[in-house]
Structure 1
């Protein structure tokens, strides 16, 4: 039996004032402090954002340990610069201090795309799974397409924006899809079809470079991986590790399956909206038949499909326990709303997010 593909994770975080929760533009200082500790903290497009990158992992336990270490170190670096690290996908409070990180590329993006870029402050989680070549990456991408809304529902963590409820579990997903290159990718029949699509977006001015292919699953522009980008940054490291394991096992399943369903765009868009609106607390849409279905039942369908891969990874019990915990305790969206609805005070939301961000990391 071939060795399972390796996995790695990128997590984006918001930097906020510890007292007010308002975003603060200190990512350069926080990254400099992190470098003093030997940590390579990445700058994101907004000065109130940073990103952590794990190494390449062969097992979930090691991945989870590194995710904990990275959050702990990033939080400590933020604290030394009078900021607090939050695993949240949009700013819950006002965002008066949102400014673009001063790099030539980010400034070009801001100039071309205007407020779509300057109103960012959106934090996601990207899972990379190793693949041998681009053809396999596109096959995995096609296989993953129907399950992207379910991954979004599971990790939704952005129901409150600029001081009030949005009515959505993942407001980040709604905002993110304003980019012309974002959202679910088309189903591609070949690498050539994919390359033609990218060249078309470049020539039309929809993207400035290949790194701006923001589809929710894509062959990575940097690594020999397929990259899944649908998720809000999860509230806890346990949820991030759960997401990574589900994605990895789904990619593994794509290697051996003979059937890759082509989902109609209208069905996928409906499933996206439902996932962004309700998260785990409402019906999902089965991407195969288009019918409403409880989230837990759709999760069961996915687990049934990928069970052999989970068994090979030794992660079937980890996934079962993780799903049980999320459905019972709630993902970030539910936790934020429960905290907010007690007194309708944003400080309660910030406190809940701060606890979740470093849950089990200390």
Structure 2
């Protein structure tokens, strides 16, 4: 184990970051979503934790405070997951870090707030069937103009991050054939997936204003692009991922996202233009990542050819290696990534559990155990 929180070199200031994780509360035997989020939040509040409601009544969300290092992120994630899991258990459910509901009807009851009620009225089945759980990583950036250009630089890497964290192969009791079914469901919204290539913050704002005016999105909070300038924080928000199955995987995701953003900020400051990947190529890369996850093929958007997902993850680490070396995180990242590739991510674990005897209860048990599982000492950040 290495000390990733040691003082940084004076020529590199590591940006702060924060992580949001969304979870599902389910019946422990059937895997059906339980509409008890309000009760879970109340119990968690009694434990001194602040969980938040999400769109449906079976979802809760946790948020870390602003963090500076991997160890700090990991500590907050473990605390939030353990408290949320205990609160779910107290009300008769199980907390799952899973991208989509494993079973039950596609439509779920919505949380009773004015905004969610309006989303339900305006978007119908899209809202009712949106009980999906993702992970969002915020990384601080100098200003809004830089944020927009950073998102341009992130576009080719978003499918790789999706493959890494895929955790939703099972939906309505069956294997969908996709490692990330959540990504497929989210793609039905008008403002989702990879962001367009924007020439400036003014260009970004004009497009978002048009989408709000058209009714395609209710407000700026419904800009669901997988990388976007936050509308209320001085950050870039990367939201491409399924909620990872384990704390290990979320820590890995967070540090890779921060390294990607830091690398992109440096490129912007040097005046380097981002690779203008076409929408068609990105859609193909997203489809491949959603289908295969880490066990199959992906699309190398720099070479425009298929490659094993493991090779693309190696390419990503090489791309950000200078930052990881200078921040002391490279060894930890390599250990965590090796573990995921050897043991499997959430999609691999779910399929392995289902294939034993076809019982969703086994999948629930595996997901529940891994949701709060501690990192192994040799891979702990």
TM-score range, shorter chain: over 0.9
Residue deviations 1:111-156 (CA, integer Å, cap 9, x gap): 0000000011100000000112111111111111100000000000
Q: How is 1:11-90 mapped onto 2 (pairs within 5 angstroms)?
A: 11-90=21-100
Partner SS for 1:15: strand
**2:210 pairs with one of 197, 200, 210:** 200
Compute the displacement of 1:361 (Å). Answer: 7.5
SS of the residue corresponding to residue 144 of structure 1 reads helix
Alignment partner, residue 278 of structure 2: 264
- Tell me: CA distance 1:246–1:40, structure 2 relative to 1, closer, same or farther (3 Å): same
The aligned residue for residue 156 of structure 1 is 166
Write the distance in 1 (CA, Å) between the matches of 2:318 and 2:350: 31
Matched, 1:357 2:375: no
CA deviation after TM superposition for structure 1 residue 222, in Å:
2.2
Task: Please give the secondary structure, in 1, of the residue aligned with 2:192.
Answer: coil
Q: Separation in 2 of the partners of 1:302 and 1:361?
A: 23
User: Deviations for 1:246-298, whole angstroms, at most 9, x for unmatched residues?
Assistant: 00000000111224111011111100000000000111100122200111211
CA contact (8 A) 1:24 1:97 kept: no
The 8 Å contact of residues 28 and 47 in structure 1, kept in 2 or not, is answered as: yes
Q: 2:124 aligns with which of 114, 118, 122?
A: 114
SS in structure 2 of the partner of residue 293 of structure 1: strand
- What runs of 5+ residues in structure 1 fail to find an aligned partner? none
The corresponding residue for 1:331 is 345
Residues 150 and 96 of structure 1: CA distance in aligned 2, closer, same or farther (over 3 Å): closer
**TM-fit CA distance, 1:97:** 7.9
2:261 and 2:139 map into 1 onto residues whose CA distance is 7
2:143 is the counterpart of 1:127:
no
Corresponding residue of 2:233: 223
User: Which residue, 293, 299, 302 being the options, matches 1:285?
Assistant: 299
Supply the distance in 2 between the matched residues of 1:270 and 1:20 (Cα, whole angstroms).
35
- Partners of 2:147 and 2:107 lie apart in 1 by 39
- Within the candidate set 140, 145, 153, 1:143 is matched to 153
Q: 1:320 aligns with which of 325, 334, 342?
A: 334
Kindly indicate whether residue 251 of structure 2 is the aligned counterpart of residue 237 of structure 1.
no
Rounded to whole Å, the distance in 2 between the matches of 1:342 and 1:254 is 44
Tell me the distance in 1 between the aligned counterparts of 2:296 and 2:89. Answer: 37
Give the secondary structure class of the aligned counterpart of 1:323: helix
Aligned length: 362
Q: Secondary structure at the match of 1:218?
A: strand
Partner of 1:172: 182
Q: Which residue of 1 aligns with 2:358?
A: 344
Which whole-Å CA distance do the structure 2 matches of 1:311 and 1:140 have between them? 21
> 1:305 deviation in Å?
1.3
Partners of 1:117 and 1:241 in 2: CA distance: 29
SS in structure 2 at match of 1:284: strand
Q: CA deviation at 1:317?
A: 0.7
C-alpha distance in 1, partners of 2:375/2:117? 35
Instruction: Tell me if structure 2 keeps the 8 A contact 1:18–1:83.
Output: yes
- Correspondence for 1:273: 287
> Per-residue deviation at 1:308?
1.1
Distance 1:95 1:121 in 2: 11
In the aligned structure 2, how far is the partner of 1:356 from the partner of 1:10? 18
Gaps in structure 2 of 5+ consecutive residues: 1-10, 377-381
State the Cα RMSD in Å.
Answer: 1.3
TM-score by length of 2: 0.93
